Structure 1
Amino acid sequence: MSFQTNLYLSINKDQWPIVYRNEYNVSFMGLEKLHPFDAHKWKNVYKFLKESGLVNKKTVVVPNEATREDLLMVHTKKYLKKLNCSFYVAKIAEVVALVLVPNYFVQRAYLKPMRFQTGGSILAGKLALERGWAVNIGGGFHHCSSSKGGGFCAYADVTLLIKFLFFSLSKEGDDYTPPTEMIYSEKTVRRVMIVDLDAHQGNGYERDFKDDANVYIMDVYNKWIYPLDIEARKAIRKQVQLDFFVSDETYLRLVKKYLNESLSEFEPQLIVYNAGTDILKGDKLGGLSVTPKAYENTNSEV
């Protein structure tokens, strides 16, 4: 079976490799407010960047929606079929009221925005190789694996981003047949490091890459909160477990120390950085106490 994707777009020289579209945002008759997660945060980030003069409609890159065929690069058919059940999606989104909503509306209001964000992550991987860096304002669904969603994460965009690079860049022409196992050639991306500074453990992609020596995982997270996935932790090559209310000084010291150690142990061709803002003081889910100033310093380190 041949495989094509419309996710790998080419961009103009005057465009920044910053990926976003308005359809990222989840709005569903106010039901999204039943979860402490800000379902409009992507719009707020874009608005801030736009008001700061860093992006505008002409310079931002607008991604396409990931199709079912794109998703099957990683996800099982059984998992995608489960997303047609509102009860199962309600468990992933952690919004119980979705159980009572017809799946058609769940697809349009929640899953479709997630597919746009997933397409954005995959595109950002390609653009990072072309430009040296790229940012997807959305995505980072690190609790979703190939066969299981959770923690508001319905699609495994981190895994998909990496698998697309491992696989699609080795093809010749636009059509190719996926092999049973990924084949790495000298001309493709073969070594990727994931640096995950979200307050929660990235158990989704960890389960997907647990037996892949070509993916090095550094995960810095609060060890006392969701998902507490002990099995997935086995995939972490550099694990930094934090306690509640860690201070700026301690946090920055640990990140710098273990990032340097990671880079001395593994030479990546690409770094996928999952920058979770839930490490900030006052976040209801993260349980940490990092200030905005320290957060800025963390981003500069990575």
Structure 2
Amino acid sequence: MPHETQLYEDIPTSRWPIVYSTDYNITFIGLEKLHPFDSGKWGKIINFLRDEKLITDDTIVTAKEATEDDLLVVHTRRYINKLKWSFVVATITEIPPLVLLPNFLVQRRVLKPLRTQTGGTIMAGKLAIERGWAINVGGGFHHCSSDKGGGFCAYADITLAIKFLFERVEGVSKATIIDLDAHQGNGHARDFMDDKRVYIMDMFNRHIYPGDTFAKRAIKRRIELDWGTEDKEYLEKVETHVKGALNEITPDVIIYNAGTDILDGDPLGGLSISPQVSSRQITMEA
């Protein structure tokens, strides 16, 4: 029997299936600024939507932190224990000064936000089945697998969301992951390497992190892009390959991992996609 979890509690229909918590945002005496990844972007998104009168606090779902028992649905005990070492977290987040800090501070100020975002992804999976769609404003930690983190990804939230659905929701037995982050999603690929229930489409810049050759074997539809790929080529490939992926298998749930790092000028992604095309891409996938 699956363990008890707060992440699958019933949500009132008065709340939209948009999941967020103020705990998502990482602020830690400025150390978060040592990495080009914007660790406060989730709050900026919510504030924009709130200012535009598109949402209120009463219409969205408050994410809950994934517990250790929740995480152990996918993660090994050995990996969870490794996160109790500040050196390991510093390596995963690529913020070297974290190695000098007591782990209880690292847990509270860095890992708790990531666990809360992970809980949000699991909650969004259940809501998507119930409502037909759902959005987690955070998450998408596609570089983390069951026993290894990296690239600012400490928990395998995509794998967890799918495993929770397979174990707890009757009728959900096939999933498609459409990963359009600029980086290769090697974490969930490694987790589902030999799982025929999960179809992975991944479009990414071939020249940047992580370059995981082994993980590529799990990607059923792999689209590798070059530096500076622009709007026309990018959108044509998205439309062609999303249609192709959905023609190859009829999934019970689709996990779409969106990445803002495809945008022109992003310090990590290396692509040249305009905000207009990025918005169209998100609309099409939703």
Alignment of 1:1-302 (within 5 A): 3-169=3-169, 187-302=170-285
Contact kept? 2:143, 2:186, Cα under 8 Å: yes
- Structure 2 distance, partners of 1:157, 1:119, is 8
- Structure 1 distance, partners of 2:144, 2:40, is 20
Identity %: 55
Aligned CA RMSD, in angstroms, stands at: 0.9
- Give unpaired runs (5+ residues) of structure 1: 170-186
Contact kept? 2:263, 2:273, Cα under 8 Å: yes
Deviation at 1:55, TM superposition (A): 1.1
Deviation at 1:13, TM superposition (A): 1.8
Contact kept? 1:86, 1:98, Cα under 8 Å: yes
- Structure 2 distance, partners of 1:48, 1:238, is 34
* Counterpart residue number, 1:176: none
Deviation at 1:49, TM superposition (A): 1.0
Q: Aligned letter for 1:58?
A: D
Provide the aligned length of Structure 1 versus Structure 2. 285
- Structure 1 distance, partners of 2:30, 2:9, is 33
Residue 26 of structure 1 aligns to a residue whose secondary structure is coil
Q: Aligned letter for 1:226?
A: Y
- Structure 2 distance, partners of 1:190, 1:124, is 17
Runs of 4+ in 1 over 3 A off after TM superposition: none
Deviation at 1:237, TM superposition (A): 0.4
- Structure 1 distance, partners of 2:276, 2:63, is 31
Contact kept? 2:25, 2:41, Cα under 8 Å: yes
- Structure 1 distance, partners of 2:9, 2:133, is 15
- Structure 2 distance, partners of 1:131, 1:48, is 24
- Structure 1 distance, partners of 2:171, 2:157, is 20
Residue 7 of structure 1 aligns to a residue whose secondary structure is helix
Residue 57 of structure 2 aligns to a residue whose secondary structure is coil
Q: Aligned letter for 1:81?
A: N
Residue 7 of structure 2 aligns to a residue whose secondary structure is coil
- Structure 1 distance, partners of 2:64, 2:229, is 39
- Structure 1 distance, partners of 2:166, 2:8, is 14
Length-normalised TM-score, structure 1: 0.93
Report Cα offsets for 1:138-187 as digits up to 9, x if no partner.
00000000000000000000000000000022xxxxxxxxxxxxxxxxx4
2 and 191 in structure 1: CA distance in 2 versus 1, 3 angstrom threshold? closer
Q: Aligned letter for 1:40?
A: G
Q: Aligned letter for 1:188?
A: G
Moved more, 292-301 or 87-96: 292-301
- Structure 2 distance, partners of 1:79, 1:160, is 15
Contact kept? 2:2, 2:168, Cα under 8 Å: no
- Give unpaired runs (5+ residues) of structure 2: none
Contact kept? 1:165, 1:188, Cα under 8 Å: no
Residue 8 of structure 2 aligns to a residue whose secondary structure is coil
Deviation at 1:297, TM superposition (A): 1.4
Contact kept? 1:191, 1:214, Cα under 8 Å: yes
2 and 9 in structure 1: CA distance in 2 versus 1, 3 angstrom threshold? closer
Q: Aligned letter for 1:27?
A: T
- Structure 1 distance, partners of 2:40, 2:120, is 16
Deviation at 1:2, TM superposition (A): 6.2
Q: Aligned letter for 1:214?
A: R
Length-normalised TM-score, structure 2: 0.98
Report Cα offsets for 1:59-118 as digits up to 9, x if no partner.
110021100000000000000000000001100000001010110100000000001000
- Structure 2 distance, partners of 1:131, 1:64, is 19
- Structure 2 distance, partners of 1:24, 1:2, is 26
